Each structure stands twice: as structure tokens, then as C-alpha cells.
Structure 1
């Protein structure tokens, strides 16, 4: 194992490992309930903005730019803690949501389950 890999996987330094597109995966989890709220991608700019403001920022792959979650809806995600996986290419943002996390108005983006070839709504969508 190289020193760089060892430092990244077992050391104390934050050395985020962005993919070839300059992104890493961010899973957003409700800080109180543990519910998975959404999944998005962060580039260095989004990570820096999130750490500076305490509000979740992401990289919009479709628009190719930085966006703050809730910038138009007001449904921001206040980041309480950032967890980093073992090889530092994925994050969990433990957050307190200020409203629904999903753009559809659902509490979580994961409000459907796959049953056979159909999607079924689970729990309450709001």
C-alpha cells in the first residue's frame, strides 16, 4: 500500500478523492432519524461552500454548476456533520432539513420501492 493510499485510508488528513469528472458522491441523512433524504454529487466548490456556510451545496450535473439545496424552494439542508468513507470518495452529510428534501415535495427522494417492474410509494410522501 502506497503512503498516499495509507494516509487517505487510515490517516487523519482530509484528502477527498474526486473521480475523473471532479466529483464525489454525497448521501444526505436526517441527523435525528437517520433517514436517507437524497443523494447528490459535490465538486471542490460545492464542498468548500458547504463547509463555509453550513448549508448543503452540490454540483448540478445537468446544469454544470454549483447549486445550494433550497436556493429556490427555501428547503435548505443545514449540515450538522460530515462523515467521510474509508477511501474518501464518498460523504454522508448529516443534516437538519428545513422542509422536504425532494424537489417533488416528498420528505425524502427515496419515497418509492421497486416491486417487480413497478414503483410503489412507501410511507407518507410528504
Structure 2
């Protein structure tokens, strides 16, 4: 079985969770090529909608995601990756998770520590 890429114009949403803590690290999209590369390498690959190309997570930063388990939902149109996050941070902004903001008392606050300075990692 593989994702039904035809349902969403060739892309399927992909939720990425830490395999040990189950913390949600990010949401990205896979096309069929990203799916095949992920299966072949056991490292997360996605399709970058902004750059319109295949993206190997961590290729620039070194913060790769080693895939420990792959799951697919009942409709075969969403993928869940359980990963080991190398380097501790999944977010290109320097946080462990892309979900580092929380609504508190009607205002957005940062609810996680910065793990690296993106200016030092992405020239």
C-alpha cells in the first residue's frame, strides 16, 4: 500500500512526530518521489511547495530525520512519520518543533527554547 497521491493533486500531508516522545515536530507534504526516497533511505524527504522541488530534510542543517516507523491513515491520503530527530531541532527557525508558538490570554507567545540560530546554519 502507498499513499493515494491522486487525491490531492500529487501531494499528501505528512505529519512528523518524535518516535520516543510522540511530540509533533512538523507538517510537510510528500509527492511520490519524496515517498520513494524516504522508503529507500529511511530519512525523511518532502516536496517543497515554495521551492517546487524535492527536499531532503536536514540536507543543509544536518538535522536529518531518521525514519523509525511509517504509517498511513484509513483514506490513504495522509502519512505519519515517527522519526529520530538528529540535532534536536526540526524547525528551520531553530526550534525543536515547528509548533513553538502558543495562544495565551489572546496573544501568541513562544513556548519553546531556541535550539540554534538559523543565521548560523542557513547562510
| TM-score, length-scaled by structure 2 | 0.86
* Mapping 1:1-126, distance limit 5 Å: 14-18=1-5, 19-99=7-87, 100-115=89-104, 117-126=106-115
In structure 2, runs of 5+ residues without a counterpart are 116-123
* Contact 2:95 2:112 survives alignment (8 Å): no
Measured against aligned partners, the alpha-carbon deviations of 1:69-116 in whole angstroms (never above 9, x if no partner) come to: 001000000001001101010011000011210001101110111235
Local SS of the residue matching 1:45: helix
In structure 1, runs of 5+ residues without a counterpart are 1-13
Structure having the higher Rg = 1
| TM-score, length-scaled by structure 1 | 0.84
